Amino acid sequence: MKKRFTVEGMSCSACSSSVERAVSRLDGVNSASVNLLAKTMICDFDEDRIKSEDIIRAVSKAGFEAFEITEKKVERQTSEKDELTPVKTRLMVSFVFLALLMYVSMGHMLSLPQPFFFEGREMALIFSFTQLLLTLPVIYVNRKFFISGWKAVKNKAPNMDTLVATGSLAGVIYGIFAIYMIGWGLGTGSLEIVDTYRHNLYFESSAMILTLVTLGKFFEERSKNKTGDALRGLERLREETVTVERDGKEIQIPTDSVAVGDIVVLRPGSRVAVDGIIVEGHASFDTSSLTGESMPVEKGVGDEVISASLVLDSYVKFRATSVGKDTTLSQIISLVENAMATKAPVARLADKISRIFVPTVMAIALVTFALWMLIGNGFEFALSRALSVLVISCPCALGLATPVAITVSVGRLAGEGILVKNASWAETLATVSTVVFDKTGTVTTGKMQVSDVISDNPQKMLTLARSVEEHSEHPLAKAIVEYAKDVATLDVTDFVSVSGRGVRASSKDGTIFGGNYAFMCDNGIDVSSFEEKAKELSTQGKTSMYFALDSRALGIIAISDTLKEGAENTVKALKGLGIKTVLLTGDNRVTAEAVAKQIGVDELIAEVMPADKEAHVRRYQEKGRAAMVGDGVNDSPSLAAADIGISLGSGTDIAIDASDVVLMGEDIGQVARVVTYAKATLRVIKQNLFWAFIYNIIGIPVAAGVFASLGFVLNPMLASAAMSFSSVFVVTNALRLLKK
C-alpha cells in the first residue's frame, strides 16, 4: 500500500536522496519518493512485511524526522507562515550582530569612529576577542546548520548544511587560533605576529556566510510558499460546518459529522460541503473553483451536486452520497498533493549527481587548500579559497530545479479544473507526437439532438413521432420527444419495438411507423422521395429517422450528436504545435467522416470495436509518444495503453485509474491548454537544471582561484551570497509559470 509521510530536516537534494536510499533498502518497501520542496515522502510498501514505524525509524537513523500523514490539514496558510517565522527571526538576529561585527572589524578601513580600546597593537586581543563574542550569537541562532551537517556526516551522507557548517566553522577555528597567536605575540613581544593576525581574522566571514545563507533561505522559503498557493486555495474551499435536516429540524454540525444519507440544506451563498443528489428545489451553481467553467450550471431534483460548488440563488436540499475523503474536493486535493509529491523522470539525473555532490565538493576544497599551500601563497589565501569552494557549491538549486516547477504547474492547472496525477505528466505530454481523440463524449457532446425536420406537414409528423417515440427508451427516441415536448400527442396502442430497426403503434389516425430505411422497406413503405435528402444529411454526420402513417411516408427527422464548442480550434492548435491528430471511433464511417472533416483531424479510424482501440493507440506509440483523449469510462483500455491518458469531462468521477490527466469540465479546449502548459513546464525545468549545473560548473573553479593570476578571486562572503542567490533564482524562475 502507499502512505505519505512528512520529512523534517532536509535542506538539499543530498538530504532527500539520503532519505530515499535509507527507506528503499528496507525489506518490504517497493519504492520511496521524496519531494524536497513539499518535505514529503510517498512510500509504497507491503504492510505484512513492514510497518510505518519501521519506515519512520529508518528515516530517523538517516538523521531526519518523519511523521505519517493521517489527516488533511484544513488550512495550510498558517503553518506555512509559522515555518517562515523562525527563519525570519534567525535572519534579524544575524543581521544585528553581523552589522556590529562588521563595524568593529572593518570600521577603521572606512575611517569610522571607533572606541580607543580597539586601536593599535596593544589592543589587538580585545579587538579580536570582541569579534569572537559578536560571532557566537550568529552561530547560535543558526546552529541548525551545524546540527544537521554533523548528523549528515555521522550518517555518511553529507549535505548542503555540512558545506555551510564546515566553511563557517573553519573560519571560526582559524579566528580562535589567531587570537592565541596574538596573545603569544603580545606575551613574547613579537609584534610582527600581532600585526599578521589582527588583520587576518575570519570571524566576519563566518558570520557573513551564515547570515547570507539564511537570507537566501528566507527568500527561498517565501518564494516556495507561493508555489503552494493553489493547493491552499483548494483547501480553503472546505466548509467547516454544514446545515442538515434531522427530525424535521435544521441544525448546524461539523462537516466531518455528515453521514451518507443525511439531508443537507443549502441557501444562496452557501458552499457545498459534500457530494450529493438534489431532492428538493432548483438553483444555479457556480462550479468554477473545480471545473474552471465560468458559466453557472442550473440543477434541479435528481441532479448531482459536488463539493466546493457555490449556490448562487434559491433554497435547495440534497441527500449526501459522498462524505469525508470521498468527496470530489477531497479527492482533488489528494490528487494534487500526490502529483506534487512524486518525482519527474527528468529529476533523476540531479538525484544521481546529488548523491556524490557534497563529498566531491569537500574533496575539491581540500585539494584547493593543499595546492595553494604547495604553491606558496600562504595559509590565509589557501584557507580563503577552500572556504569559498565550500560555500559557493549549491546542491539546493539542483534539488529544487524540478519540484518547484512541478508544484507550481500542478497547482496552477488545478485552479483551472485540470488535474494531473503524477510529476511525469509534463515531460511526457510535452513530447507527444500524436494525440488520439475518441468521438462521442469527447469531440462531440454525446447528447443526441434533432437538427432537421423534413416534411410537407411538419406539425402533424411531430405529433405522430412524439406519440410513438415516447414509449421507447432509445437515445434517438428521447431526442425526438425532447424536441417535440410542446406538441400534442395521440393515444397509441399495440406498441412494438424492433431492435435496430424502428417502432410502430396504432392510433385513431392509423398505424404510425418510425425507423430507419430498412424498417420502412420491411413494412412496404415507399420513402424514395426522401432518399436524396437522407443521403445529404448523412454526409453531415446526421442520422435520418423516417416516419409514416399507414403506407404513406410523412418525412424525415434528422438527429445528430452536436460538436463541442472549441473542438476545431483545439485540433488546429495541436497541429500548430506539430502534433498529429487522429479521430478514433466505433461510429459508422459516414458519420465519423463528417465529424473528422468538421474538426480537421489528420487521420480518421472509424467502425472500431472498443476492445480494438488499444491496439490502434499502441500502433501510434511505435512512431513516438501518443496521448489518448477519451471520456474516462468507455476508453479505459486505450487511456491506460497510451503514454499519457487524458480523461475529458469526467464530472465527479475524478479518480479514474486509467488516465494521467483529468479535465473536470467539458471544455475540450483544455486539451490544447494542458499540452502547451506541459511544454512551458518542461522548458522551465530544463532551464532550472541548466542554470543549477552551469552555476556549480563555473562557480566552483572561480571560487577555487583559477583566475587568481588575473587578480580575480572570490572571498567566502561573496561566495555565500552567490550560493544563496542560485536557489532563489531557480524558485523565482519556476514562479513564472504562474503567469503563463
Backbone angles phi, psi at 561, to 5 degrees: -90, 110
In whole angstroms, give the CA distance from residue 548 to residue 461: 8
In whole angstroms, give the CA distance from residue 261 to residue 273: 14
Type of residue numbered 424: S
* Beta-ladder partners of 493: 506
In whole angstroms, give the CA distance from residue 686 to residue 444: 37
**What stretch of H or E contains 453?**
strand 444-455
268 in a domain, yes or no? yes
122 in a domain, yes or no? no
Q: How many CB atoms lie within 10 A of CB 483?
A: 20
Half-sphere CA count of 492, side-chain side, radius 13 A: 25
Half-sphere CA count of 63, side-chain side, radius 13 A: 27
Domain carrying residue 12 = 2-71
In whole angstroms, give the CA distance from residue 601 to residue 438: 12
CA-based nearest residue to 561, from 450, 437, 436: 450
545 in a domain, yes or no? yes
DSSP3 helix / strand / coil % (the chain, rounded to 5): 55, 20, 25
559 in a domain, yes or no? yes
723 in a domain, yes or no? no
In whole angstroms, give the CA distance from residue 403 to residue 15: 14
Residues 6+ apart with CB under 8 A from 32: 19, 20, 23, 24, 41, 42, 43, 44
pLDDT single digits (tens) 54-63 = 999 999 888 8
pTM above 0.85, yes or no: no
CA 577 to chain CA mean position, Å: 23
C-alpha distance from residue 657 to each of 100, 421, 635, 660, 662 (Å): 60, 9, 12, 8, 10
Do residues 487 and 569 lie in contact, with contact meaning Cβ atoms separated by under 8 Å? no
Ramachandran region, residue 443 (left: φ > 0; alpha: ψ -120 to 50; beta: rest): alpha
**What stretch of H or E contains 193?**
helix 191-198
Domain boundary among 293, 326, 359: 326
In whole angstroms, give the CA distance from residue 404 to residue 402: 6
Do residues 297 and 192 lie in contact, with contact meaning Cβ atoms separated by under 8 Å? no
Q: Residue 93 has what DSSP assignment?
A: H
Residues 6+ apart with CB under 8 A from 238: 74, 255, 273, 308, 329
What is the count of structural domains for the chain? 3
Q: How many CB atoms lie within 10 A of CB 79?
A: 11
Type of residue numbered 357: F
Most distant CA pair in the chain: distance in Å?
132
CATH number of the domain enclosing 280:
2.70.150.10
Type of residue numbered 467: S
3-state secondary structure 620-665: HHCCCCEEEEECCCCCHHHHHHCCEEEEECCCCCCCCCCCCEEECC
CATH number of the domain enclosing 40:
3.30.70.100
Domain boundary among 71, 102, 125: 71
**Which three cell numbers, joined as nine digits, stand for 616?**
490502434
In whole angstroms, give the CA distance from residue 732 to residue 408: 11
Q: How many CB atoms lie within 10 A of CB 120?
A: 11
**What stretch of H or E contains 30?**
strand 29-35
131 in a domain, yes or no? no
User: Which DSSP string do the residues of 125-178 spell out, in sequence order?
Assistant: HHHHHHHHHHHHHHHHHTHHHHHHHHHHHHTT---HHHHHHHHHHHHHHHHHHH
Backbone angles phi, psi at 637, to 5 degrees: -60, -45
**Which three cell numbers, joined as nine digits, stand for 159?**
549535505
CA 315 to chain CA mean position, Å: 36
**Residues 228, 233, 235, 240: is their CA dihedral positive or negative?**
positive
pLDDT single digits (tens) 579-589 = 999 999 877 78
User: Which DSSP string do the residues of 381-396 spell out, in sequence order?
Assistant: HHHHHHHHHHHH--HH
Location of C-alpha cell 416534411: 455
Domain boundary among 536, 563, 590: 563
Q: How many CB atoms lie within 10 A of CB 364?
A: 18
- Pair type for strands 580-584 and 434-438: parallel
Nearest-5° Cα angle at 238, 236 to 239: 115
114 in a domain, yes or no? no
**Which three cell numbers, joined as nine digits, stand for 510?**
392509423
Q: Which residues of the chain have pLDDT under 70?
A: 70-84, 108-111, 220, 223-231, 291-295, 340-344, 347-351, 354, 394-395, 610-611, 632-634, 649-658, 717, 724
Location of C-alpha cell 449556490: 311
CA-based nearest residue to 540, from 452, 447, 475: 452
pLDDT attached to residue 293 = 63
Rg (CA), the chain: 35
Q: Residue 714 has what DSSP assignment?
A: -
Indicate the SS3 state at residue 457: coil
In whole angstroms, give the CA distance from residue 494 to residue 496: 6
CATH number of the domain enclosing 460:
3.40.1110.10
End-to-end CA distance of the chain: 36
- Catalytic center residues: 438
Nearest-5° Cα angle at 9, 158 to 7: 115
In whole angstroms, give the CA distance from residue 684 to residue 686: 5
Q: How many CB atoms lie within 10 A of CB 524?
A: 7
529 in a domain, yes or no? yes
**Which three cell numbers, joined as nine digits, stand for 664?**
473536470
